[in-house]
A and B are shown apart, each in its own frame.
Chain A
Amino acid sequence: MLTSFNWLAERLDLSQHSLDELSDLLTFAGIEVEGIQEKGLSTNLVVVAQIKEATQHPDADRLKICQVDAGTESLHQIVCGAQNYQIGDKVPCALPGAVLPGNWEIKKGKLRGVESGGMLCGADEIGLPKDNDGLMILPPDSVVGTPLKELYANDTIIEIEVTPNRPDLLSHSGMARELGALAKLQLSLPTIPSPAPQETSSFIQNDSPERCPFYSAIRISGAKVNESPEWLRTKLESIGLRPINSVVDITNYVLHEMGQPLHAFDAAKINQGIQIRLASEGEKIKALDENEYLLQSDDLIIADQAGKAHAIAGVMGGFDSGVTNETTDLILESAYFAPSEIRRTSRRLILSSDSSYRFERGVDPKGVLAGSALAVKLICELTGGKVEPTTLISGEVPTVTQPVELDHARLAQLMDHSISLEEAEAILTSLGLSKINPTTWDIPSYRGDLQRHVDLVEEIARVHGLNNVPSRLLGSYSEENDIDRAYDAQMSMRRQLASLGFYEAQTIKLISDTQLHDCLPLRPLQEGDVIRVSLPLSEDHAVMRPSLTPGLITVAERNACQGASSLRFFEMGRTFRNAGGGKAKDLETDTLAILMAGDRRPSDWHGKKTTPIDLYDLKGVIASILPQSSIQLAPRQREGFVLSADILANGKPIGIFARLSPSRCRELSFETPVCLAELDLKKLQQLRTGIDQVEELPQFPGSSRDIAMEAPADLENAQIEKAILKANQAILESYYCFDLFTDPSGEKLAVDRKSIAYSLTYRSPDRTLKGKEVDEVHAKILEHLQKTLPISYR
């Protein structure tokens, strides 16, 4: 909300306070000052000048050379581009040396070769509201040479954010009242004439008393509507409003003075009487903003009794019955509308006005008749209109406040005894509350937000300030729960992955439909599994991610584009899907995804050419985060991927593994394989609980023997390992594959054959094995392999 300092200063003596002090006072009472803007001129060098002569510039069609009288001895020659003046007009003239708003200094100079000693100004150039595209034309009686700052007072505009619970601050009187309480200043509010006698009349037909508990209308006839006087225009302009005519300006003034929105109808346009009713579905109204609005049966309107809609109640008046300079008779509306419904209509129509802003937050019920009384007085004064002796009304002004109990003991406890009861009561009194009995307080009608003990506590706390409350720091024991344990487990995995050379990514949880193809969820997606937001911001963020892989693929693509050659990322976070294909229960699971692509290691001077990673790199990473488990991949087809497989730990599935399909890689311009895994974090956590007891180190030396064999290319390692174990030799402690050779050219080895070698370690827990003994056992294994597998030894 924009607040004029000059306007406030009419209500309070602010001479003893700097702007910064006032700003702090408001800020620490919970009223946020968002900006402070100086308006108007401080220089004496912008003066009233009269244009005496204007001739065409020889070199520029759009420029004229003006001779102006600025009250000095000689005329000033000024080159000017404006077109909207006539010889003899009085305009603002900035003389050389003047500094205009925006720190713009006016200097003597030449424009297209012609000397120009100053500038003729438009209103906006000297910090006044812009009224046209050209020069500001001053009233003819302005005295040449008078500094503009004497004619148009400086002002400071304070932009204030008022929280939704404080509609009472949405006016200058309301803000002055609050500042007066905070700074302990005397208020001088405008004198409100006592309202005229009220009469319930059939002129007002209220079909919707719940939505409009109270409506008043007062007729004024014989008004001469024209331009408002300067004091009124200045006030409205100061807070950014455009003066329209005296009646409209007065209603706007009352709104910003007292917070009560009013509306004036041209009485000639109102057929029979006023009807307050819900709109019929599809009813249309052209509002004052000249837009046509399509109404629904939930929108309250003010219509005439012949059926025509004249206002969207509390939001905006109708264009056709608006007050113009031709209006002579008018009907002034002042009402109380139910806040929630005004908000609903305003929001649905995307039409917010100063009126709706106040009604939807709740206006002061006592301000309804007071506001209209002040407006009537001003309208009669400024237009010469005659007011009817009674105000026509329908309904009763609602009561929105009731006495509130203040629990002294609870107040003292909450404030930690930092304020005495006397001080607390003084705060409430200063805010306009009055004590009915030692614990009960009467609430002023404009403070509908004060309903409970705690609301009074808030008032005391905010005025007292948290600065004046002590600090207390009490720790207490709390038990570690499953979420703590899961968090710690995840952090340790994150750190491990980081130290294995992976960057942690965090991507947006909303993805696009096309990204669904990049998903590698633990279970394949079925019809209805995907969760979509109803109204996405864009197609890119329309679906809740069912998997982390699309995000990682995007991250890899982005980094590849900027030249990264080694792409190693992981992300841990929530994935979303409907459980079991379209059932109502939404399922959110924390998962881990890992992506590897590009160079195995960053290139350096080591001389060895870096090689691209392959799936065994990723399999190795998974094995190293689960060192206690045996990791296997069990092929399982996933659309859009190749080499896809379930990841098994000790035979149980914990995730899914795949390479991005070659065609998708080409689409994304990846030149090397992109390997992906998505893993169930809960299962990882269970597998990473560490060991129960250490294993003693062997006391006797072991002995190794190698096996090198030639085998069909499609004989899997798992089959060979299985056969090694099947040989069932007790002293075989461990084995590993240490070499694999294939020759795609077929020169050294047939293309359908491979050479594969294992190292086996033998050990006995209770003695040193003899060489011969080992040889014999090893021979048995060789024999077993040869018997059971299609292999030969080299």
Chain B
Amino acid sequence: MTEELAAIQTEALTAIAAAHDDRTLDEARVTFLGKKGRLTVASSCMKDLPKEEKPAMGQALNETRQTITAALENKTEELQSQADAKLLAGIDLTMPGYCLPAGGLHPLTLIRDRAIQILRRLGFSLAEGPEIETEFHCFDALNTPADHPARNEKDTFYFDSGKLLRTHTSSVQIRTMEKAKQMPIRIIAPGSAYRRDEIDATHLSVFNQLEGLYVDKDVRLSDLKGTLEYFFQSLFGEKTEIRFRPHFFPFTEPSFEIDIKLHVKGHEPKWIEVAGCGMVDPAVFSSMSLRRGDETLLPEKVTGFAFGMGLDRLAMIEWGIRDIRRLIENDTRFLSQFA
């Protein structure tokens, strides 16, 4: 009996060792431990044994079963890990990932949002106005005389109704001052403006501006300077050099143009114009006071500054875009670079 058990164990271990997959291993299990398996059969002989031999034989049987079971478990584990390893083998980590549809925001949206976020930090709120404007809001209220060069059909798009496509977002200054309920006014207005320019590498007939206006009882030149320095240094880096050149606009006085020093690798640094600004001309406040019929905006009571800049131009500077038409073509080879 003992010899037989020893033989079963040896054969079982051999069979288990020889098993090369789940099926052959299971066959081995059935052969030795199954209902009619050899160990099961052998243990059924127990009842025929003399009583005194039973405990020893029972123990031997148990040991054999445990040994075979352990071997089976080990083998199962071994086969499992072989199978696991097999699944991982040959995976080429250098293959590219699967493609998802790519998307992204337009560069004008990106630059506009950055500009807005910077100015919001200073307490500017957004404002807007119609793009199809009246001559009053686009010119008259902005102290632009009737015979001003911009006010003709050669430079400005007019409609048969006498309205026009606003030539600048400055009309939003007027729209805002008309209905402002209290001081201060601190607004920024991003939006389109239109000029009758043929489209080429540096001109669009529809372009994007950002207007700003701050009116209160004691707004000074130093506020204008501080705000715009902060703006351009936040946008283009804190080391950005900025200069203010006196200039002329009908609706601000004094007026300035703002240049920043542009550094392009391989080129001499040069000053380029990025914005116009100035202290709101008292004539604008007078016209607004007349329109409102109250004293909130009397030029004796308030001062203010205004600024305007081309967002297309800022985008071109920020990303070195040479041809402004890229901004309206919406070619994905261009847009994907901003994603």
Closest CB in chain B relative to A644 CB, distance in Å: 25
Among B225, B328, B336, point to the contact of A466 (Cβ < 8 A): B225
Tell me the chain B residues, 22-79 only, with Cβ under 8 Å from chain A: none
Residue of B145, B159, B230, B281 touching A531 (CB-CB under 8 A): B159
Q: Which residues of A contact B153 (CB under 8 A)?
A: 534-535
Contact for B104 among A28, A415, A469, A503, CB less than 8 A: A503
Given contacts A506-B108, A605-B95, contact A476 B147 (CB under 8 A): no
Given A30-B245, A416-B222, A461-B246, A602 and B101 touching (CB < 8 A)?
yes
* A455 and B253 in contact, given A471-B225, A534-B153 (Cβ under 8 angstroms): yes
Cα distance, A42 to B105, chains bound together (Å): 55
| CB-based contact A506/B328 at 8 Å | yes
Known A-B contacts A472-B220, A535-B153; the reply to A559 vs B332 at CB < 8 A is yes
B127 adjacent to chain A (CB < 8 Å) = yes
Q: Chain A residues near B204 (CB, 8 Å)?
A: 508
Smallest Cβ distance from A785 to chain B, in angstroms? 37
Task: Indicate if A718 sits at the interface (CB-CB under 8 A).
Answer: no
| Across-interface contacts of B223 in A (CB, < 8 A) | 472-474
Contact A534 B158 (CB under 8 A): yes
Across the two chains, which residue of chain B brings its CB closest to A348? B152
Given the interface pairs A454-B282, A498-B105, A506-B109, the reply to whether A537 lies near B198 with Cβ below 8 Å is yes
Which residues in B have their C-beta under 8 angstroms from that of A55? none
A480 / chain B contacts, CB cutoff of 8 Å: 125
Docked-complex contact A504 and B333, CB < 8 angstroms: no
Which of A347, A414, A499, A606 is within 8 Å of B221, CB to CB? A414
Give B34 Cβ to nearest chain A Cβ, in Å.
34
CB closest residue in chain B, given A164: B248
Contact A576:B132 (CB < 8 A) given known A458-B254, A461-B254, A487-B116:
yes
B328 touches A416 (CB 8 A): no
A548 to chain B, nearest CB (A): 12
Among candidates B130, B132, B196, residue contacting A537 with C-beta atoms closer than 8 Å: B196
A58 at the interface (CB under 8 A from B): no
B192 interface residue (CB < 8 Å to A): yes
B272 within 8 A of A: no
A586-B132 contact given A469-B225, A533-B165, CB 8 Å threshold: yes
Q: Are A506 and B330 in contact (CB under 8 A)?
A: yes
Contacts of B100 in A (CB 8 A): 501, 601-602
Asked if A67 is at the interface of the complex by the 8 Å CB criterion, the answer is no
Q: CB-defined interface of B99-124 with A at 8 Å, one 1/0 digit per residue?
A: 11111111011000100100001111
Please tell me which stretch of A77-85, A213-221, A374-382, A563-571 contacts chain B, meaning at least 4 of its Cβ atoms lie within 8 angstroms of it: A563-571
Cβ contacts under 8 Å, B2 to chain A: none
- A666 close to chain B: CB less than 8 A: no
Q: State which of B99, B126, B222, B282 has its C-beta within 8 Å of the C-beta of A484.
A: B126
CB of B103 within 8 A of CB of A497, answer yes
Give min CB distance, A281 to chain B, whole Å.
Answer: 21
Chain B residues with CB under 8 Å of A457's CB are 253-254
Whether a CB of chain A sits under 8 angstroms from the CB of B149 is: yes
Asked if B237 is an interface residue, CB under 8 A from chain A, the answer is: no
> Which residues 398-438 of A sit at the B interface, judged by CB distance below 8 A?
413-416, 418
The one of A165, A494, A507 in contact with B328, judged by C-beta atoms closer than 8 angstroms, is A507
CA distance A469 to B279 in the complex (A): 14
B131 interface residue (CB < 8 Å to A)? yes
CB-nearest residue of chain B to A506? B106
Name the one of B98, B103, B126, B222 contacting A604, with C-beta atoms under 8 angstroms.
Answer: B98
State A535–B165 Cα separation when bound (angstroms): 12
Q: Cβ of A32 and Cβ of B254 under 8 Å apart?
A: no
Does the CB pair A504–B165 fall under 8 Å?
Answer: no
Alpha-carbon distance between A478 and B131 when the two chains are bound, in angstroms: 25
Q: Are A478 and B123 in contact (CB under 8 A)?
A: yes
Query: What are the residues of chain A within 8 A of B333 when measuring CB–CB?
Result: 562
With a cutoff of 8 Å between Cβ atoms, the chain B residues found around residue A360 in the complex are: 147
Residues of A within 8 A of B330 (CB): 503, 505-507, 555, 558-559, 569
Interface membership of chain B positions 244-270, coded 1 if the CB is closer than 8 angstroms to chain A and 0 otherwise: 111110000111100000000000000
Q: Tell me whether B289 is interfacial, beta carbon within 8 Å.
A: no
Can you name the residue of chain A whose Cβ is closest to the Cβ of B299?
Answer: A454
Q: Give complex CA distance A533, B160 in Å.
A: 7
Q: Which residues of B contact A107 (CB under 8 A)?
A: none
- Are A501 and B220 within 8 A (Cβ)? no
Chain A residues with Cβ below 8 Å from B246 are 28-30, 458, 461-462, 466
CB distance from B330 to the nearest CB of A (A): 4
Contact between B98 and A502 (Cβ–Cβ < 8 Å)?
no
Residues of A within 8 A of B108 (CB): 506
**Smallest distance from the beta carbon of A494 to chain B beta carbons, Å?**
6
A52: interface (CB < 8 Å):
no
Which of chain B's residues has its CB closest to A599's CB?
B101
Asked whether A483 lies within 8 Å of B128 as measured between CB atoms, the reply is: yes
Q: Which residues of B contact A484 (CB under 8 A)?
A: 125-126
CB atoms of B163 and A586 under 8 A apart? yes
Over the window 145-185 of chain B, the binary record of Cβ atoms lying under 8 Å from chain A Cβ atoms (1 yes, 0 no) is 11101001110011111010100000000000000000010
| A344 CB contacts on chain B under 8 angstroms | 147
At the interface, yes or no: A255 with Cβ under 8 Å from chain B? Answer: no
Q: Are B335 and A461 in contact (CB under 8 A)?
A: no
Contact of A340 among B146, B225, B327, B328 (CB under 8 A): B146
A606 to B282, CA, bound (A): 68
| Cβ contact of A416, chosen from B147, B165, B221, B227, cutoff 8 A | B221
Q: A440 an interface residue at 8 Å Cβ cutoff? A: no
Evaluate contact between A498 and B103: CB separation under 8 angstroms. Answer: yes
Is A586 a contact of B130 with CB atoms below 8 Å?
Answer: yes
- Are the CB atoms of B248 and A30 closer together than 8 Å? yes
The contact string, 1 if C-beta is below 8 Å from chain B, for chain A 698-710, is: 0000000000000
Q: Does A235 contact B (CB under 8 A)?
A: no
A568/B146 in contact, CB under 8 A: no
CB-CB under 8 A from B331, the residues of chain A are 558-559, 562
A475 at the interface (CB under 8 A from B): yes
A541 proximal to B (CB < 8 A)? yes
Pick from A343, A457, A503, A532 the residue with the most CB of B within 10 Å: A503
- With A415-B221, A472-B222, A541-B205 as contacts: A532 and B186 at CB distance below 8 Å: no
* Contact indicator B328/A604 (Cβ below 8 Å): no
In angstroms, Cα B158 to Cα A28, docked, is: 36
Residues of chain A lying within 8 A (CB to CB) of residue B243: 467
Q: Does A470 contact B (CB under 8 A)?
A: yes
Question: Taking CB as reference atom, which chain B residue is nearest A572?
Answer: B109
In the complex the two chains form, what is the Cα distance from A602 to B97 in whole Å?
12
Q: Is the CB of A501 within 8 A of B105?
A: no
- A696 CB contacts on chain B under 8 angstroms: none
Chain B 185-215 interface mask (CB, 8 Å, partner A; 1/0): 0100000101010100000111000000000
A–B Cβ pairs within 8 angstroms, 16 of them: A340-B146, A455-B253, A457-B254, A461-B221, A461-B254, A471-B229, A474-B226, A481-B125, A483-B125, A498-B103, A502-B101, A503-B339, A504-B103, A504-B104, A508-B328, A532-B159
Can you name 6 extra interface pairs (CB under 8 A) apart from A414-B221, A474-B226, A491-B113?
A: A461-B221, A504-B106, A508-B205, A509-B192, A584-B161, A586-B163
Closest 7 CB pairs of A and B: A501-B101, A30-B246, A163-B248, A462-B246, A471-B226, A602-B99, A466-B244
A residues near B (Cβ < 8 Å) are 27-30, 32, 163-166, 339-340, 343-344, 347, 360, 413-416, 418, 452, 454-455, 457-458, 461-462, 466-467, 469-481, 483-484, 487, 491, 494-495, 497-510, 531-537, 541, 544, 555, 558-559, 562, 564, 566, 568-569, 574, 576, 584, 586, 588, 601-606
Residues of B within 8 A of A (CB): 95-96, 98-106, 108-109, 113, 116, 121-128, 130-132, 145-147, 149, 152-154, 157-161, 163, 165, 184, 186, 192, 194, 196, 198, 204-206, 218, 220-223, 225-227, 229-230, 243-248, 253-256, 279, 281-282, 303, 327-333, 335-336, 339
